[in-house]
Chains A and B, each alone.
Chain A
Amino acid sequence: MNIVVCVKQVPDTATERKLRSDDNTIDRSANGVINELCEYAVEDALKLKEAHGGEVTVLTMGPDQATDAIRKALAMGADKAVHLSDEALHGSDALSTSYALSQALKKIGFDVVILGSESTDARTGMLAAMLAERLGVPQLTLASKIEVSGSAISIHRQTDYGYDKVEATLPAVVSVVEKPDPFKPRYPSFKGIMAAKKKPIEKLGIADAEIDPAQIGLAAAWSVVADFTPAPPRGKGVVVNDEGDGGTKAAEFLVSKKFI
């Protein structure tokens, strides 16, 4: 099975994240890490390979430093990587990004594409659905469980009430959600980290992937950020120590705010 897993490098959520004042795009200059949900996607891709054979290709779109996210995925056990990188891609919105990645995916070829259900930076949660739309293949998103049998694929799609069982025929685009132990992403072993250094990373420019420059980048964006400001800080709160009456005090506060 030809498995492509899309990963994204994002600013570390544990640090202060910023927008760039020159063009209102996300500042990606520092503290880049692999998006957490992408690690789940890599894990699920590796599990599919272990069960059904084939190859796992990592695909990322991003500036040069996104190589860190690729190396992590390779160290976890992916076989090879494609890095779609071009100055012209800077500032691409969800429409442009889905277009550029769909072009790269057409070039690479796939039976299944796996993504994290959203990135922690933009959090639009749309990319998997948009790739399915652009590629004309079934969308199997928000999967907490994936099963493949021959050309049939089914998932458990996480919902507010539990899950939906959804079926399709390959090829398909799958996005995955976070899962509890023991389904957490594996840690790269020392051997894996060493092996990753020798695995091939193919650089792809926009011409290589037959990407129309008029459809990408900040100039082509379908939506634009007009301005941004830091959120106003919250006021100082009231804190009491529990001296046997903490619950009562909390109730009094809720009454004062008309919640009870």
Chain B
Amino acid sequence: MAEILVLVEQVDGEIKKVTLELLTLARSLGEPSAVWAGPGYTDTAKARLSEYGAEKIYVADSADIADHLVAPKAELLASLVGGRSPAAVLVASTTEGKEVAGRLAIKTDSGVITDAVGVAEGFVAEQPVFGGGVIVHSKVAKGTPIIAVRPNSTQPVAVAGAGAEEKVDVALSDAARGARVVERVKEKSSSRPELTEAAIVVSGGRGVGADFSIIEQLADSLGAAVGASRAVTDSGWYPHEFQVGQTGKTVAPQLYIAAGISGAIQHRAGMQTAKTIVVINKDGQAPIWEIADFGVVGDLHKVLPQLIDEITKRK
């Protein structure tokens, strides 16, 4: 079976859910090999990757990789593509994953596809474009297909793989050491799931006001991530990295709750592929209703506390 490289996404050694999704997807296309880049590799990581089907695990755990931006990961993958001739490379379609994919494409003279939500036989990728309004099927025409797949596109399923470890030593070029990460600043310590990975997202808009605690409470009662509309991040009510929309994050959760969000086309472009959409808004004519599966026309400051109570009661 053809080897499929999967770049592992991890934070401080903890493997992100999207990696398990990619391994699951890779199993439908060939034999998955996980590629670990940076420090933090442990037996727990090995067990997790094997559990989801990694036949091989390439481990490049030098600190040098994490201490320089993006380029080292592309060099590592390029050396594996050169040496192992995999059938394809899958990365997560995150901001960094896409940057790695772009650099890798140049290094290996290969085509690259981003924001895929599915990959079928022959590496035909499905991509929603223009904010989900159009579905495109595309294919790499040259080199090794490099495909960035969006989080939440595949349901991760555990099927054990051999998990054979192989140490990889990469001699990074000077060019790959150009941008040095000197400090990582964690502004929000939160136990909430990450926005693009979360199964449930609770988003607030202008109607919420500057105090976002009601949105955070609802999110926490559901184990959800918090999102925000551009009106909110523009006003500085909530940090920009939580913005959902055309110029922010694209999310495709199982459930998206939009509270106090009117649903400008630019916001819908970031969330309308969510499976189920629930709207709470006092304006019954707002454009967000066009895509609501269920909604309450009312004041969110009355509806949400009651909803949180009901959720807490039923737990």
Interface residues of A (CB under 8 A from B): 13-14, 16-19, 24, 36-37, 93-95, 98, 117, 120-130, 132-134, 136-142, 144, 154, 156-169, 172, 177-181, 184, 221-231, 234-235, 237-242, 245-251, 253-255, 257, 259-260
Which B256-315 residues sit within 8 Å CB-CB of chain A?
A: 265-266, 269, 272-273, 276-280, 284, 289-299, 302-311, 314-315
Q: CB of B180 within 8 A of chain A?
A: yes
Question: Which one of A98, A132, A162, A168 lies within 8 Å of B188 (CB-CB)?
Answer: A162
CB distance from B187 to the nearest CB of A (A): 3
Cβ of A242: which chain B residues have Cβ within 8 Å of it? 296-299, 302-303
Task: Decide yes or no: A246 and B303 within 8 Å by CB, A160-B194, A168-B180 being known contacts.
Answer: yes
B198 CB, min distance to chain A CBs, angstroms: 11
If A167-B182, A222-B142, A259-B200 touch, whether A237 touches B305 (CB-CB below 8 Å) is no
Contact of A161 with B69 in the complex, beta carbons under 8 Å: no
Q: Which residues of B contact A238 (CB under 8 A)?
A: 293-295
Known: A19-B129, A238-B295. 9 other contacts (CB 8 A): A95-B105, A125-B114, A132-B103, A138-B179, A162-B185, A165-B185, A225-B138, A234-B277, A259-B222
**Residue B160, interface by CB 8 Å:** no
> Quick check: A237 and B178 within 8 Å, CB to CB?
no
- Let me know if B175 is at the binding interface, CB within 8 A: yes
B85 on interface, CB distance cutoff 8 Å? no
Shortest CB distance B123–A (Å): 10
CB-CB under 8 A from A179, the residues of chain B are: 240
Whether the pair A139, B179 counts as a contact (CB closer than 8 A) is: yes
Q: Contact check, A247 vs B307: say whether CB atoms are below 8 A apart.
A: yes
Distance in angstroms between the alpha carbons of A117 and B186 in the assembled complex: 21
Q: How near does chain B come to A39, taking the closest CB pair, in angstroms?
A: 11
15 A-B residue pairs with CB within 8 Å? A13-B131, A123-B129, A124-B102, A130-B105, A139-B71, A139-B178, A157-B181, A180-B235, A237-B292, A238-B293, A240-B295, A247-B305, A248-B310, A254-B255, A254-B278
| B233 in contact (CB, < 8 A) | yes
A124 — nearest CB in chain B belongs to which residue?
B114
Please tell me if the beta carbons of A166 and B247 are within 8 angstroms of each other in the complex: no
CB distance from B220 to the nearest CB of A (A): 13
Is B112 a contact of A95 with CB atoms below 8 Å?
A: yes
Are B311 and A161 in contact, with the CB atoms below 8 A? no
| B200 proximity list for chain A (CB < 8 A) | 259
CA–CA, A221 and B112, complex, Å: 10
Query: Which of B23-31, B53-61, B93-101, B163-171 contacts the other chain?
Result: B93-101
In the complex, chain B residues 49-97 whose Cβ is within 8 Å of any chain A Cβ: 69-71, 74, 95
In whole Å, how far is B116's beta carbon from the nearest beta carbon of chain A?
A: 11
Q: Is B252 on the interface with A (CB-CB < 8 A)? A: no
Using Cβ atoms and an 8 Å threshold, which residues of chain A touch B100?
129
A32 to B189, CA, bound (A): 41
CB contact between B293 and one of A136, A158, A237 (< 8 Å): that residue: A237
* 8 A Cβ contacts from B193-207 to A: 194-196, 200
Query: Does A231 lie within 8 Å of B133, measured CB to CB?
Result: yes
Size band of the interface chain B makes with A: 35 or more
Query: Separation in Å of the B73 CB from the closest CB of chain A?
Result: 11
Residues from chain A with a CB closer than 8 A to the CB of B133 are 16-17, 230-231
A138 to B122, CA, bound (A): 35
> How close is A124's CB to chain B, nearest CB, in angstroms?
5
Whether B269 contacts A126 by the Cβ 8 Å rule is: no
The contact of B141 among A141, A224, A231, by CB within 8 Å, is A224
- Given the interface pairs A98-B106, A222-B142, the reply to whether A178 lies near B71 with Cβ below 8 Å is no
Given the known A-B contacts A181-B236, A223-B139, are A234 and B185 also in contact in the complex, defined by CB atoms under 8 Å?
no
Nearest chain-B residue to A226 (Cβ)? B137
Judged by a CB distance under 8 angstroms, whether B107 is at the interface is: yes
Report the separation of the CA atoms of residues A159 and B9 in the bound assembly, to the nearest whole angstrom: 14
Residue ID in chain A nearest B183 by CB atoms: A165
- Complex-state Cα separation, A248 to B294, whole angstroms: 13
Residues of B within 8 Å of A240, CB to CB, are 295-297
Which of B131, B187, B265, B280 makes the CB contact (< 8 A) with A246? B280
Q: Which of A19, A139, A158, A246 contacts B302 (CB 8 A)?
A: A246
Closest to B113 in A: A223
Query: A253–B71 contact, CB under 8 A?
Result: no
Q: Is the CB of B181 within 8 A of A247?
A: no
**Within the complex, what minimum Cβ distance (angstroms) separates B201 from chain A?**
12
Q: How far is the CA of A95 from the CA of B113 in the complex (A)?
A: 11
Q: Are A177 and B70 in contact (CB under 8 A)?
A: no
